[in-house]
Structure 1
């Protein structure tokens, strides 16, 4: 089934060349079908690259999916054109009256800052609180995961002695959980961050379960026990060359960076890296959309009685 995207979105042409079934909004509106509505709060600086990465994964399932992109109103990105944002993005005030079947909040280049010092922190927390009532299931990626762990569950982050960058091996703690159904006992995934969260705090938290971790990179897949929130501390959505692009960018800036672990063939940055995590990336998103979004969301939100704020459990 297709993924429905805004007309003329640049990522659309790339997705078509990759044989991913995409459908623009005007055609999708003529079909008698209840698609999934997914909100993507894209905080990454290179928004068009992130759009393509996420749409590629959201579009590789049998489910028809409408995607709405959200941008901060309190901060204007410097790495994407104003016209792109005006054409393809909404602000929270424009969508807060709606309900969504799923939501993704991406990473952001602010991880070394205290959460409260991020100039759009109030806006992010407002969206996370709104999602408790208006979104069936939410996925938080990298800094987004750390923000959710902090705001929703009271777990802070700490700075690492050096950047965690590379491809790391991970294990699954419980293969019977639907989110990791079909995963190998061990699998690879990219990480790219300067901060981390405590494994012990996650393991001991009454409302969280640790589904996957790495001996070297720490916690990876964390799920709330009510299954509404999924936190991914790494970047399964990354392309094969994304870490290479980040590494060469940092080298050009003169930053003291090390070669990403287990990434370049023979640890030689002139060699082209391979994508060794693609299958598990698609599997994770497939499982999320199927088991936690499609299977759980109401067919028609209008028939769902509105929840009251005081019925929502705040876990801090």
Structure 2
């Protein structure tokens, strides 16, 4: 019997767009569920200038009237967390996208900056700058049971890479949000909405073994005169940045498999209602 793939739209806002697409193609193919991925870009981001040839070749423009083709949707991180939301040229398009996803009741996974922007828009959670970049592999402690964290032990390892954070206490106190896991320092790993299929992930769980090294080198090459912290708890030889360890691979597999199970269950339930 032919199984219809789960069709997932991914708004790719990351700097390394090709690597990002490869990462999501890899992590979402590890489950038993077949998937079809469509990568998209925000049209407002290129308003008044040509869309780069690479972006056109590997992705499609975001068209809000076509969102009903998707079974689920992901908004990735973006290297803009130090900017206020109102300074992002395409923030209105992001807001309209979120509104439309909610109208269609499509399951949403927001990652890093995508999670910050969505939680700020939907629930008024404030963003603030961290004293220094949270960068490396950290343990994460479970606060509440979660279908997407099922199977993960308390203290599971995951990569974090960001300069900003949402207000932890606002998330904890919000009646419509469930804070699920944090680092020992109180930085967010994830929370979810109580009444909507919205999930907010602050770890870059989609990253592969070399991704933190690539991120460090990309920033260092862009501004060679600046000092950048090396990723913590990552290398076998941290002084020479050798031997990156893929400590979060178990969490990566479990998390994305759980999310696809959740999406598949919603598709099945929707089909039963139609019948």
Is TM more than 0.5 here?
Answer: yes
Bigger mean CA deviation after superposition, 84-93 or 253-262? 84-93
Answer yes or no: is the 8 Å Cα contact 2:7–2:71 preserved in 1: yes
- 3-state SS of paired residue (2:159): strand
CA deviation map 1:145-181 (0-9, x unaligned): 1001100110010011111111111111234x32111
User: How far apart are residue 192 of structure 1 and its match?
Assistant: 0.8
Provide the residue aligned with 2:249 in structure 1. Answer: 278
CA–CA separation in structure 1 for the residues paired with 2:171 and 2:259: 21
Provide the residue aligned with 2:258 in structure 1. Answer: 287
RMSD value over aligned CA atoms?
2.1
Cα distance change on mapping 1:230 and 1:152 into 2, 3 Å: same
- 3-state SS of paired residue (1:98): helix
Provide the residue aligned with 1:211 in structure 2. Answer: 180
Answer yes or no: is the 8 Å Cα contact 1:99–1:134 preserved in 2: no
- 3-state SS of paired residue (2:3): coil
Instruction: Please give the residue correspondences for 1:227-238 in structure 2 after superposition, counting only pairs within 5 Å.
Output: 227-238=196-207
Gaps of 5+ in 1: 1-30, 305-316
Match status 1:136 vs 2:136: no
TM-score when normalising by structure 2: 0.90
- 3-state SS of paired residue (2:133): strand
Cα distance change on mapping 1:250 and 1:91 into 2, 3 Å: closer
CA–CA separation in structure 2 for the residues paired with 1:227 and 1:277: 27
Provide the residue aligned with 2:161 in structure 1. Answer: 192
Provide the residue aligned with 2:79 in structure 1. Answer: 109
Structure 1 residue runs of 4 or more that deviate by more than 4 Å after TM superposition: 298-301
CA–CA separation in structure 1 for the residues paired with 2:186 and 2:33: 33
Gaps of 5+ in 2: none
- 3-state SS of paired residue (1:162): strand
TM-score when normalising by structure 1: 0.79
User: How far apart are residue 55 of structure 1 and its match?
Assistant: 1.0
Provide the residue aligned with 1:156 in structure 2. Answer: 126
Match status 1:87 vs 2:95: no
Match status 1:263 vs 2:254: no
Cα distance change on mapping 1:97 and 1:61 into 2, 3 Å: closer
Count of aligned residue pairs for this structure pair = 268
Among candidates 195, 205, 211, match of residue 226 of structure 1? 195
CA–CA separation in structure 1 for the residues paired with 2:269 and 2:7: 11
CA–CA separation in structure 2 for the residues paired with 1:231 and 1:268: 34
CA–CA separation in structure 2 for the residues paired with 1:240 and 1:53: 10
CA–CA separation in structure 2 for the residues paired with 1:73 and 1:168: 35
Provide the residue aligned with 1:248 in structure 2. Answer: 217
Provide the residue aligned with 1:37 in structure 2. Answer: 7
CA–CA separation in structure 2 for the residues paired with 1:229 and 1:152: 10
